[in-house]
Structure 1
């Protein structure tokens, strides 16, 4: 019984909306039929036809319900469903569920699926519908108080109609205004999307448009989640990577700078501050409130803004919208009274917005000017006079703290915390101070022009990594310039730029033919590389693999794994890797992947030349059949042979030479080809320049068999190609016929009524006996027996009967 097998060509890939991968799936069983009691075998070929590598391609094909028959679980060794993938995956009595990690452009993975259909199996197999849902509002950030419009598409990629598809999309938390419409006429307002598509045809799509309003005070992420479900079909795709759309709140990095470009104030004179408010994005900032209070003791205070604002008294201005990259500048003018005596004049600006600021701190919002009679400019320099460190050693920093005046500095607090990752440090100061751990010392009085020098020594652990950062500081209440350009000393680790190349200097590989890779590891410095680990595993499917290194290392049929204790600057170690792809190697690509690491950091760890990938050389499978659809021949007749030459691929076969010699003893021989070739009384010798995968050329050969021909009649065809073949055997190239054996018919007629042979008596009845015998060796068919009434005898008076039940009057005619 032939039934329709409702199979699915299933895949899952999550891709972005720019130049991307395109996954194409082809089945070799497009009619999806099966025969009960037999094994169904077909292939699913998954190919990336796009221009970008696809990742996480999930291919799924389930065991049809009822195929796994009782007992359940099945006994060990009982196989009902099995599959293999050309990527090395396989399964027995389990669903095909395989994820292709990466699928490069043009690359394919082929899955071969086998299903044993029970004899008693009559039920229709489950319908499988690959539903793809996409939900997007084409933005990543929402707008407070604005609308967000989502497009939800539900597409059936087949292979069957999907009945009763339940589509849903809940109202996101915190949203109160929500409406939706569907291209199938459905709609809803302030209710979650809940709609059933009665029948979704193959390659059909229903589109839903969802509109919601984001409240002005909305916070956190905004997530819209769509989904589909149903119990009348099987959706082979688990998960839905494009069902959820998440938008983040808008963010604006507002930076404020406030300065009058001086460190001391002058009594009786004006002081002019420039306050800049800049939005560094990425989104616009709304309702930005800019403020600057009048400093204590100041009575005259005016301001203007580049946005046209101005005022007398404290600065308080709202910028409705500050676009990303936009700046508003305020100029503040205040008069320092002649009687002003405060130790410090402090101006403090600020900017706030309901738009989230990812960096809310404001290190330049405050400008402090000190009283001229108290000002002491403290300058700090911190250095260990090197740019790299060596793990397992010590390094000494020299920290100088100098007072550039114009007044003596009091209570100067000098600090240097332990650098991150450092646990041991000691320090001494020229003022007699000492300590262990973090530097923390107060200089009671630092005269104008005086310097205190600290020696700060840290121990670097042997396993230390990353940058080593020492940060010194010196603070005093009356420093007119608190900037410190030389307070921080940063050393990096010793680095070694390892450069790796791996190549066999070819772009294609040939199954059964060895290929040699040259792997070089070079240290471009600036320091030696320690503990260099070199690896190159055997590629998938390779069993013959050997390697040697210029440092004396080697291995056979084992992964390349080698340690170089120290690789000097400018030195290179070269590895020669030899491998042989098996003759039946069918993977579309052969990749050799080298990996090199070192305990010495590499400033450029990328390795674009570590991987060498070769595509498989052209591979064809020529299949030749030659037959005249008979096993015996008849001398003196003609016979016709049909010779087919088919290329089963996967590549085109080039320069195909087709031959069929004239059989021995044959003198009349002619042939024609479906490619318009022909010949008469010459052997079949034809060249097909290129035979595409799946193409066939058919030859018709006509042979006249002489009447006296004896012995076997042998026709031998062949086809060769310059393209490598996956199978060179030819089990149907030769057709041999034997001589036709015959049936020997013997007929005997006697006059039995007179007793005397060949004598009759006039006026009496004459009775003849006719016997027909077959002396073999074959059965005789369609034997015609005839005996004509002699002249002068009235046919009406003649009767005859046969022991096979026949009889008649007149001439004997039995066939």
Structure 2
């Protein structure tokens, strides 16, 4: 047992009553026997409930302690079950006892119970008493707020108080904190007190790590407002984990795990100080889940030892998960004797032991082991209230103590020995129905009288008709044999007699007698047993017929019954007999046996005798089915009629054989009719449906029905509802047809033309089936007649079967319908949808019917034999038909009667189209630009190519000769050219051939510097042309280059330079330029230098091969001239390749003057004339030089340049 108590550890014996509380999961009754007495076996029962906020419920796990009202000794203890029920039984001579009920957080209640005889006394010697309890938890009242801060709750977008809530419990104030920040709380609220977190009441979420919450409560003190608020925020973090992390996308007001939003815990609002938040995260990260003691058990629970002996007591401590908890200090108290130690620390197995000695003679002692600690307690609200209050956690409201105790008695020795026999021996083997007698003997072999002996002996299950006889002076009730007194050397017996039942078969049934109590020390074994084995031989009798539990056969089939007897038991079966009397109707019977036994066909007795465990024997009986069995179910029974040993398996097995019989009938319809005649037309659908019905009594299998499909039907489909149809053989195979069921063969076809005017029928008959059928079914359909009528449809277009036209021509279609048959044609309809492209449509009908040009439907209706009706349709050809062959179809789209003539007639109209393509070349080119000079030949060749698809006629192409050409000639390869109109006429141009127009001329001066093109455009032809040709030639450009001459010159010291410059002002490059410049007379030692080209000194011609637009070239002429003479140079451009709108000449004359320049240089202090020194420099003076320049004539000098160089030293 283990005991969980709060706030106290009481002395168990002496004058104090035990008041302890247990929270274990066990509801087992504990039995404690104390005192030296002889008397009854009291049983005290009752229920414990708890009243929480006015709600009363059964209380599971409440502790019940029973002690003597006179001595205070504890005599028994237990805990309540899930229904709050308890039961304590013990041995005592007293009749008055104190019963104490206790539970976590509740005030213990003690009731005095007097036990008395029950309603079955004296058969039942026990005394009974009842004590019921209603416990009420202690209350905690919220009195005030302590240290704390207002913090931000981001997910709610509001502030809330975080910190200490002071609560009052029994006049003492405790520090508490909130669990769920989303539930309101008010000062003055009252909560109930419970045990260590998460407690045993309330409805706290299981996802919370309550060990970490307890850790925070026990390791942090709310010494300041910030610290108190941080502790509360950390607790909220753990207790709101089940809501999930903060999600910014959730609506405001959604519950979430506090402290997971980025601004949670800020002081005063979303932007406040993070002091509380930062400290809370330090506490959260440091928290560890406390593994605190949850249970303690002490062994032994109860023991009686010889006077003077010591006892070792072991305490085991476990956590909430049931794991051993090492390192826990356990304290021990005793009511008597000497403990080896008053405390100890648990080892790796969670255990610590002490020894109790010096107990005394014939004494009672109790050793209590307990563990104390401070943990978080639950303060919980009413979970059924419509408005919930906040649950709180508080530290040390109920300082936790868990305890357990053992009861130790010392006494004199009285060795009572237990022995037992069954049917006179230590064991016995019996059969079901045999008598079984257990005898338990208690013998006192000691010199001391034994008292208060209780022996538990539960009657073995399986015995029936049980009688229990205790010897004189003893009693037996509810499995307890009570021996109040057993003198030395005396014996007492308990005799249990009953009959072995099938429940014991194959089992060894033990009867065990356990000594559960004796006032004296007893060194003998406490338990004694005797066993009975009840034999069992499970012989399974099974049977098959043709390999199964049942068979279906036909007359003449062979039937094989196999009956198997297999001993699946551990024991041999003896005197085994099986009876199998074969059913009547079988002939040619024979049998074989594989294994032991004999068989008599006359009596059906299979006498097996003995069949050992695991053995098998088989009886095989063979016979042939006769007609007497047809349509009947025959059952064969194999019955186990005798066996000595118990057999739990069925004694009978049977199989059935059914002999099949099936009577088929056939019926047939045509298009749903079963009488009269079906009149149809070619093309009509015909459905023959044969129905095969099984009139039983059994399913018919492998039915073969022959139905050869009538000739002349087309598009045939054959659909069996069951089975398959072979079109080659005409056989419909039905694998199976149940009794009362039907199957159909549906033959769908179309009346073919070969049937016109004829009558057909369809016949089907059954040719075989597996089951017997007394008749041969057959069926023939009603007749089907096919009608016939012959309407010929013909057509012409413009009087023939085809026509060739041009756009805008008139087309006339004539459609004629003639009935050449002997029968009138009815519902006659001809569809003629006029081909697209025709306009101005008109129609006339000569004869019967109406015509709808939109739908093309010519609805004739009835056309009698030999009658004719004509539809004439006229329209005009449009461009949409050009180049196309247009077919007009007249289709007979409906006629009731068969018509062997073609249903369609057609004519064709071809609308001509010709597309001449015009292209051009210039001087043989068709890309780029043709560049020429004035006077060059220019030839435009216009090409007209007929690309089809038809020949072109009466083509007219306009081509106006480009201006500027001179000496023009125009030559057509086909047709004529009118120079006045510019029209080239081609009378006929065969498809895929060409014609050309050649225009030749010379580039005139008016074309210089410009580009021209030639345009040829088709303006008419007879045939339709979707895209009349239009061609513009590539450009022809006539080059021009304006080259001008300029000239400069100079002389020096009688040397003359002439520079002639030729500049191209464009717009084109000038080539092959020739400039004549004869050497001026009067020059000697002449040199001539061209910058580009060559100069011929003999002819005076300067040749420039090429001069780009904007470029210049120079000719420099240098020579010596006589002073006081004039030299003239003339340059004239005489030719160039490109046209130049101007001719250019340049003349320049230079006069060579005669001058004598004198230059003198001297210091200024000298007289320039006399050379007399006027001044002398000293060191540091700035010298002055004088330059004297004089022209001594005879001509003026211009442009004189003097070079002056300073000497060294200056």
TM-score by length of 2: 0.27
TM-score (norm 1): 0.37
Structure number with larger C-alpha Rg: 2
Structure number with greater CO (CA < 8 Å, separation at least 6) is 1
